[in-house]
Structure 1
């Protein structure tokens, strides 16, 4: 969607919602809708949308990846994000963003260790 690519997340969200009325269980469109909600700072709505995707498409890698982003970046729930991403890598060892994901997991684990040491 061009609106998504241009950063017009409100317009993109409208487009994805209209698309989902026609094709209600399209995990790609619904995951992209959740990403729009994330960038619109509607983190609870993004998480709810991703959970819905994972209800009807369990293990859908893009939804798992983005749910981790919402958990870590939007809700600061690092522990749950790490667990979800580790599960994603077990389910989909050839995930297209696995190098980036492994780096992010290690970064979050390192930050958690540093925070514990300063407490």
Structure 2
């Protein structure tokens, strides 16, 4: 079985250009993804795309515009890549040592 490369873990910084709605989403999801050790420093582009698309979604809703299927599809795709949906999380393997944490949640 091939060994998967292990990039350096940690949260990449939110870019300065991120719209406020995207920055708020970044601040909501990144700490939890980082705590679960699901982030690598090289994941910044995917996070940026997800949060920028989320910002576009929020802005469209506020303006009362119809939501574009392509935008929703992009947001769903990026959310899946980051493990932000229940189905995506079910496909993720916990990092070594975290399996016990997950089991402890059920028995303690």
Kindly indicate which of the two structures has a greater share of residues assigned to helix.
Answer: 1
| TM-score normalised per structure 1 | 0.30
TM-score under structure 2 length normalisation:
0.32
> Greater CA radius of gyration, 1 or 2?
2
